[in-house]
Chains A and B, each alone.
Chain A
Amino acid sequence: MAEPFLIGENMTGGYGAADILHSCTLAVEKGEIAVIVGPNGAGKSTAMKAVFGMLKLRQGTVRLAGEDITALAPQARVRKGMGFVPQTHNIFTTMTVQENLEMGAFIREDDQIAETMEQVYHLFPVLREKRWQKAGELSGGQRQQVAVGRALMTRPKVLMLDEPTAGVSPIVMDELFDRIIEIARSGISILMVEQNARQALEIAHKGYVLVQGSNRYTDTGHALLADPDVRRSFLGG
């Protein structure tokens, strides 16, 4: 089988002396959704940050479209086509929705920025309505849309989302998941960390259950949902 579009392989590392990740592997195929779930403190966010280069790896490699990008800084990875939406502080609160999107396109030098913005407004119609409003004045769900929209403005090949539905209502969560599926259908790979494991695995092509910084179960989303061990340990029966 050909290599996945993005893969972090056998990643080992942490913030200080102690390792948080132990030979952890994450991968996502072109236009697919990969979801990382697991108990609190399993290193889900850390694993994703490692893929994005925000964590120094002692071992392992990260490859994007076959190219080894292990040594690249996060900013350089953005230029290579990776978009990252942090869990918190992911918008410019004092700037308008439109300015947030413009800042997302800061590194682009082509003349199709308006086109991409139109696509983002098409994906999130409410942002078009509120485009002159300060992003900090929006509701939690709308802020997340701004955050995802900002990341999409770079026209990434991979979009990485750190708990995009944290702190939003169930209805808004469903809505966001629908949008994420739509983004994936447009050919962008999605790698995301989710607390709402059951709903996230429903839409996942691939699911990773992490425990203490290691891969515990890896399978398709539906297979994981059907696995009695996974259900008992992580999904509450």
Chain B
Amino acid sequence: MIHIKCFGIAKEIVDSELAKIEADKITVADLRKKMNADYKAFTQINGYMVAVNQEYATDDQIINSGDEVAIIPPVSGG
């Protein structure tokens, strides 16, 4: 099981601070596909980054069960 932290608009789309994916190992690209299929609204925002263990991840990066994963919608600090 992979737990995904959701912030900002992602938290509203998932309606929770945490989403779950039934997998032990998944690429960032496949996680995006799965999230976009489970929650169509993700395809209607200005994209999002995925962070793994608090670092921005590339699409080919592999996520393992136990990694800290987060969906990072467009940031707007400052």
Q: Do these two chains interact?
A: no
Binding site for A on B (CB under 8 A): none
